[in-house]
C-alpha cells in the first residue's frame, strides 16, 4: 500500500461539545484533508509545538518524552496513521536507537505531538485518505486574504463530509486590544499554563503582523 505524506493544516474547537477539537491534516500533494477529533490536552500540546513563540515554564508530557528520548538517543523517524476502525484512527511511531528500528503503537494525537517535536514526517495510507479524506470549501473572502483556516468541528462531528470553513473564530474580544495588551496577556497565559488561551492570543497577534 502506498503512503501519502501529510502536513498539519490547523486545529479548531467545538462550540457545542466541551473538550472536542479537530486536528486537520492536509495531504502534501493534493487538496484532501483528514480531520481527526482529539482531546483538549492533546490539542494544546500540538498547538504549543506548532507555535515556537510559546515556551511553557515546565515541560509538558510530550516535551518530557522528547527529553527522555534525547537523553537515551532514541529518535522518532516517522509517524504512520495505519488504520481506521469505526471512526477511530490508529497510529504507529517508528523509532530508532543504535540503528535498531522499533515500531510503537500510539494514539494518533500523541504520535503527531511527538512527530512535531522530533521534526518527523507524518504519513497515512492512500486507502485511509480515500476513505476518510474530505474536501473543504473556502469562501471567496478567505481565498483573497489567505487567512488561517478556522474549521467548524461541530460540522465535522455531525456530518463527516465536506464542510464549510468559517472565519472569525471566537476571539474573546482580542480584536479590541492593542498589540501591547495582547503580548501582555500572552505572557500571563503562558505563565499560568493556559495554553489554549495563549494559542488564540498568538493567532490574533499574527493577524496584526
Q: Each residue of 137-158: pLDDT tens digit?
A: 544 444 433 333 334 455 555 5
At 10, list the grid cell. Answer: 490547523
At 187, list the grid cell. Answer: 505572557
Q: How far apart are CA 203 and CA 10, in angstroms?
A: 11
Q: How far apart are CA 103 and CA 148, in angstroms?
A: 34
Q: How far apart are CA 11 and CA 4, in angstroms?
A: 20
Residue scoring higher pLDDT (161 or 36):
36
At 3, list the grid cell. Answer: 503512503
34, 80, 60, 87: CA torsion to nearest 10: 40
Element (H, E) at 181: helix 179-191
134: helix, coil or strand?
Answer: strand
- Choose the most confident range, by mean pLDDT, from 62-71, 171-180, 183-192: 62-71
Q: How far apart are CA 199 and CA 197, in angstroms?
A: 5
At 24, list the grid cell. Answer: 486537520
Q: How confident is the model at residue 76 (pLDDT cuts 50, 70, 90)?
A: very high
* pLDDT number for residue 154: 55
Q: Which of 152-156, 173-177, 195-199 is predicted least confidently? A: 152-156
Which has the closest alpha carbon to 22: 6, 7, 31, 11?
11
Q: How far apart are CA 154 and CA 14, in angstroms?
A: 5
What pLDDT, in 10s, does the model give residues 43-57? Answer: 888 988 888 767 778
Residue 155 in contact with residue 137, Cβ under 8 Å?
Answer: no
Write the DSSP symbol of residue 164: B
Amino acid at each position: 500500500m502506498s503512503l501519502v505524506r501529510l502536513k498539519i493544516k490547523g486545529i479548531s474547537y467545538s462550540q457545542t461539545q466541551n473538550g472536542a477539537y479537530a486536528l486537520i491534516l492536509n495531504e502534501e500533494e493534493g487538496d484532501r484533508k483528514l480531520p481527526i477529533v482529539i482531546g483538549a490536552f492533546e490539542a494544546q500540546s500540538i498547538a504549543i509545538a506548532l507555535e515556537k513563540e510559546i515556551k511553557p515554564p515546565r515541560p509538558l508530557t510530550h516535551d518530557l518524552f522528547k527529553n527522555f528520548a534525547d537523553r537515551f538517543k532514541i529518535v522518532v523517524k516517522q509517524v504512520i496513521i495505519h488504520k481506521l476502525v469505526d471512526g477511530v484512527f490508529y497510529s504507529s511511531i517508528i523509532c530508532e536507537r543504535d540503528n535498531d528500528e522499533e515500531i510503537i503503537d500510539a494514539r494518533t494525537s500523541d504520535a503527531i505531538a511527538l512527530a512535531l517535536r522530533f521534526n518527523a514526517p507524518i504519513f497515512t495510507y492512500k486507502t485511509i485518505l480515500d476513505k476518510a479524506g474530505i474536501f473543504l470549501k473556502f469562501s471567496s473572502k478567505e481565498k483573497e486574504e489567505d487567512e488561517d483556516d478556522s474549521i467548524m468541528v461541530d460540522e465535522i462531528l455531525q456530518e463527516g463530509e465536506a464542510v464549510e470553513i468559517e472565519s472569525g473564530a471566537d476571539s474573546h474580544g482580542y480584536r479590541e486590544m492593542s498589540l501591547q495588551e495582547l503580548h501582555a496577556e500572552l505572557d500571563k497565559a503562558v505563565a499560568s499554563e493556559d495554553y489554549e488561551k495563549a494559542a488564540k492570543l498568538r493567532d490574533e497577534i499574527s493577524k496584526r503582523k
